[in-house]
Amino acid sequence: MIESNQTDLRELLPDLIALGFSEYEARAYLALYQLQPATAYEVSKLAGLPKANAYTVLDSLSKKEAAQPISESPVRYVAVTPDVLFERISSATARRCAKLIKAIPVAAQADERGYVWSISGGDAISTKIESMIDGASSHIWIKAAEQNIMHYRDALERAAERGVEVLIILFGTQLEKFQFGGKSRTYLHEGNGIPVGIAHKLVTITVDFEEALVAEIENHPHGAYTRNRPIVNLAESLIRHEVYFAEIFEMFGQPIQKTFGTALMDLRRKYLPPAQADALERLLGLTSDTKTPGKKGKEKIT
């Protein structure tokens, strides 16, 4: 097997296997790339392959256009460079996927709008969010913490440039990084961007009144995606009402907080789970000895 100084390359084996390489092919490709040009014997020695299998594996890599022979007696091989090889694989895979996306729904009779799909893993969630953003034609609405959507900033900017309305309810402070001009607009949640409950873990995104995704990003990322019309409408309504609140806070923020406490703490104390209410109080610097700002004669927080 590839030795200790190649630890980083060893870690790439699962990715190569996921692209359709056998384990022997993946090991041989990485070994060949380090040694090239190299004989089958040299590759088998570095890759830890049985010598009898090395010729077969290199022949298989040649047929996949991942390697090619360059001499005879002895036969020596070189690896096709990663930029050429994986760009070709990427383009071919993208074409196949595009074909399947178009062809399968035509052949199928099921209406997928009734389903909710579970999505597990950060990469799968990220891929789905990116495809939703790239496929949007009229609007993208998002409610999320800034650290959870910073990765999609460029994609959102491209969407805004092609005329899509991008509307963001942001938990955080970096408002200027999510200003895209055109029909886009970004609001700090309730005028202050303070995360409430598990808001710092969540991303809610809706597109074109047609699809919605809600995902929890931290720990073991998982989420749910749907084109189910009532559920999409529920997610759209959630974000739409957040926009209403944002507009109202822009005009009347101080009187509202004077009446209901900082970050609406007096209301939230009634309806948030106790652990989340306690966490928010700590975040706001409120203690059992602190009276709600702006509320004369108000009872102490308990």
**Domain chopping of the chain, boundaries:** 4-84, 112-253, 261-302
CB 231 within 8 A of CB 265: no
| pLDDT, tens only, 135-188 | 999 999 999 999 999 999 999 999 999 999 999 999 999 999 999 988 899 999
- Torsional class of 195: left (φ above 0), alpha (ψ -120 to 50), beta (otherwise): beta
Superfamily of domain 112-253: Endonuclease Chain A (3.30.870.10)
Find out whether 94 and 131 touch, Cβ atoms under 8 Å: no
With a cut of 50, say whether residue 299 has pLDDT above it: no
pLDDT value at residue 293? 44
Would the pLDDT of 209 be above 90? yes
62-91 exposure pattern, b = at least 16 Cβ within 10 A, e = fewer: eeeebbeeeeeeeebbbbbeeeebbeebee
pLDDT for the residue 111: 63
Q: Does domain 4-84 have CATH number 3.40.50.720?
A: no
What is the per-residue pLDDT for 296?
38
Distance CA 65, CA 122 (A): 31
213-251 pLDDT tens trace: 999 998 899 999 999 999 999 999 999 999 998 899 888
42: which DSSP letter?
Answer: H
Does 291 score more than 50 pLDDT? no
Contacts with 126 (C-beta within 8 Å, 6 or more apart), sequence order: 151
Q: What are phi and psi of 72, to 5 degrees?
A: -125, 160
pLDDT digits (tens, 9 = 90+) for 67-88: 999 888 888 999 999 999 999 9
Confidence band of 36 (pLDDT split at 50, 70, 90): confident
